Structure 1
């Protein structure tokens, strides 16, 4: 029987050494969420049931401690041997994570600042795929939440919408007017549909069809782009022009002899 657990392999491949704290924490969150154990990192242990407590109250306490024990095992199993020894006596999974944050928290703070800057400054370039851009913005949001940032749903959507180019202005206007509330993944699907409409509305140029460059045509009488004259017509015109010059030159008396025609 094959008992291979892909979630365990995620942690095996990303074992905490210290320098990889941010990536390790992100992968640990994925595993604990998949196993429905992540709540023990955000809640304190429930109070021990009193003598007159109901069976239901006893069951709630038992389930929480059971989940906490499994979460601690995941955390310890994904550390180096040195870190394991340092955390073997820590009472809860939440206490382990607090201790690890104190040890490697500077990396987390730096990663949080980088993700925050990316979320606030990233802008989609007009004409580029909207899917890649939105996935990048969602990635920044996920990193911040993994590192402990509390970002509400409206802020996530506002960050994505404000990063879109002008061609999406009409969609943003309709979104706000209809007071829509969607998750980032739903917004991605909507924006991809809008992207298709934008592409269809843009004028297309047929393959192989090139726009001929506009020729410069000077104003006035001297139009240098006129069609060349026929060679025979040019020679005839040139002959008449020369003959006219000769006639003009032949008029008047010679300066030396005083006779007409020289």
Structure 2
């Protein structure tokens, strides 16, 4: 029975508290959680008061030990010292009250905005949404199964439009498990018909995915034999009439430029020698 109590990790406080209180109650060790500490014993204390004090002290000591045994080490070290089980449990609850509210908001936002984009199977998608609902329940915020069904339906892309219309048209209402099984079958049917769910990319415009990176330039197209021969012929026709060498024209000839410099004549590429 003790092993059924989960370790308090920070996201399961509601579940942890419920199981701790139940387990201590079954073990008859919850007296210190239900009753305030009795007054110190005196010589005039009755046997009944002495027995109650003894039972309370035992329950308090073992309850604190039990609480500490079921708390993760990193959380345990951040909690104040405990000498009263009831006060210790209250301190733990206060510690996670703010965190639970913040986490509840995030989980609920995820549950209501999550969309099926085809990157995973429909079964995995439904399991994720069911897990979100279970985490909310652990935090003390229960999500009715009928609401979970609606959240799952709202998460579907346009390809599942006929499926949604059919569901709304029938009188029968499915559980979330039944809906998940039907959606897995619908996913298989769409696959057989060649209909796939496009990956949803937030903020993608009409040209998304078409922009090439600078490092992904196209390779130059290959030339056929005729083009190669024409290029060689054009290269051969590039003959300098000044130095008679092939590969450049007269206006680009370095020796011609040197000749102009030696003669003290301003260089003119279009100048014709006489």
* TM-score tier after normalising by the smaller chain length: 0.3 to 0.5
TM-score by length of 2: 0.46
